[in-house]
Amino acid sequence: MALLVMSCGLLISSASAEPVRLPQIGDNSIDYYSIPDRPDSIGWQYTDDNDYTDLLPYMLNLSKIIDYKWSYKADKRATSYITIANITIYRDGSFSTPKIVKSSSIPDYTQKVLDTLNSFAYLPPLPSSYNRNEFSVNLIFAPDEPTKEEVQKFKEQGLIQYINATQNKLRNNWKPSMIGYANKRYRTALVFTIKKDGSLYENGVNIFQSSGSTKFDKASIKEIEKNSYAPLPEKYTEDLLSLIFVYDVKSIMSQDTRYPQLQDTRYPQSNIYNCFFVNNNLRIFKNIQRKDGYVWLNAYKTTPNTGSYLWRTKVDCRNQLIGIKKSYAGDFDYLYKEPVLTNFNTTMQDINKNSDYKAIYDCVCRY
């Protein structure tokens, strides 16, 4: 039997007590950027090779809504947990009768999947930016995450350390050459299974949450397949370990060759990794905040004639506007500690008015 671990991190989360509100077409009240990198228990695969990358925010939100009603404790009797159900979602949020594509080895698990989907009268309407009236998707249902007691047991088995090391290796080995994707966010979650000796289980890498791009999904699968893995911990008694790992272009934007790392040795290493080096004269600190529909950040701007400035910046991604409050800056080494303010007033301007404004917009809004 394989233990399924969500997100290579064994993250434990409790269900919210607040009801889920289904968004209407044009509703922008959901902050998609606040969604954690950890995938929920609901995944998805598209049924054709069309480009569905524009549906990523919709699918991330849909998975959270379905996950709110879904719960199934992992059972050692199961030889296969994951169940896949196909539905077609229509423009108004109505959907077709669910059909089981792959069943669990436990019958009541499969029935619970059908009961969960049939408990919805409607799902969120398709976003107005989506130019078709329907789409077919395979929804993947995984069991609940481990309890705190189980996590403690995993720690004693050395499993937590193993998972963290595996996660760090995958993240560090992801080469910037993979990032050739323009002006969209690409994010895919993959489930893969490691055998006792550290080898991958045959045909053991599959899409759990698709990016919507066949090219990006296949490239991510190859990343998992080309890595080597350590043998499972000796104290871990199972023969297989299944993990879910997320590849997200946005989360490693600083590795993009268009955003090279600082090379100036006068800055300590800790500072280097706290900013994006946008160009020779402009850096964006990574403590970016998203609030009230805006992106708030601190930037460091240097000019040959007038010196260095701290730009407190407010970005309206939807309307392509930016507002900047400038103040004279001291040594860069201390600026990364400056808090990001999210309540200052400033005149909003078109991002195309200035190349630096456009560069900031591209950095924080297009990934």
Q: What is the pLDDT along the chain (367 residues), one digit of tens a residue?
A: 455 554 443 332 223 323 333 433 333 333 434 444 455 689 999 999 998 988 888 888 888 888 888 887 765 544 466 789 999 999 988 999 999 999 887 888 889 999 999 988 888 888 887 889 999 999 999 887 777 787 788 888 888 889 888 988 888 787 644 445 444 567 889 988 899 999 998 877 999 999 998 988 998 899 899 999 999 999 988 888 888 888 876 554 444 433 333 333 322 332 333 556 666 678 787 778 888 888 898 888 877 666 678 889 999 988 899 999 988 765 444 455 677 888 888 899 999 998 889 888 887 776 4
Residues 225 and 197 in one domain: yes
Query: 84: helix, coil or strand?
Result: strand
Domain-embedded: residue 258: no
Q: What are phi and psi of 351, to 5 degrees?
A: -65, -25
Element (H, E) at 2: strand 2-5
Residues 24 and 123 in one domain: yes
Give pLDDT, residue 306.
63
- As to burial, measured by CB atoms within 10 angstroms (0-12 exposed, 13-18 middle, 19+ buried), residue 364 is buried
Residues 40 and 154 in one domain: yes
Give pLDDT, residue 258.
35
Neighbours of 184 (CB within 10 A): 18
CA neighbor of 53 nearest in space, from 327, 366, 314: 366
Give pLDDT, residue 263.
31
Domain-embedded: residue 127: yes
**Whole-number Å distance between alpha carbons of 107 and 222:** 33
Residues 193 and 53 in one domain: yes
Residues 211 and 306 in one domain: no
Q: Which residue carries 């969960």 as its tokens?
A: 116
Residues 350 and 282 in one domain: yes
Residues 193 and 301 in one domain: no
Domain-embedded: residue 261: no
Domain-embedded: residue 276: yes
Give pLDDT, residue 183.
43
Q: What angle do CA 157, 12, 46 make, to 5 degrees?
A: 105
Give pLDDT, residue 199.
93
Residue 356 structure tokens: 């630096």
Residues 346 and 224 in one domain: no
Element (H, E) at 63: helix 56-69
**Whole-number Å distance between alpha carbons of 9 and 223:** 19
Residues whose CB falls within 8 Å of the CB of residue 277, separated by 6 or more in sequence, listed in order: 259, 260, 261, 262, 283
Q: Which of 200, 218, 252 is the last residue of a domain?
A: 252
Domain-embedded: residue 143: yes
Domain-embedded: residue 148: yes
pTM of the complete model:
0.61
**Whole-number Å distance between alpha carbons of 78 and 144:** 13
Give pLDDT, residue 149.
82
Domain-embedded: residue 51: yes
DSSP track, 271-317: HHTTEEEEETTEEEES--EEETTEEEEEEEEEETTTEEEEEEEEEET
Residues whose CB falls within 8 Å of the CB of residue 146, separated by 6 or more in sequence, listed in order: 5, 10, 12, 74, 154
Residues 95 and 160 in one domain: yes
Residues 182 and 322 in one domain: no
CA neighbor of 138 nearest in space, from 57, 68, 66: 66
Residues 178 and 290 in one domain: no
Q: In what order do the strands lie in the sheet with 240-248?
A: 2-5, 240-248, 187-195, 200-209, 42-46, 134-141, 83-90, 99-102
Q: Which domain holds residue 50?
A: 2-11+20-252
Residues 315 and 353 in one domain: yes
Total domain count, the chain: 2
Calculate helix-pair angle for 56-69, 107-118, nearest 10 degrees.
Answer: 110
The conformation of residue 192, written as its DSSP 8-state character, comes to E
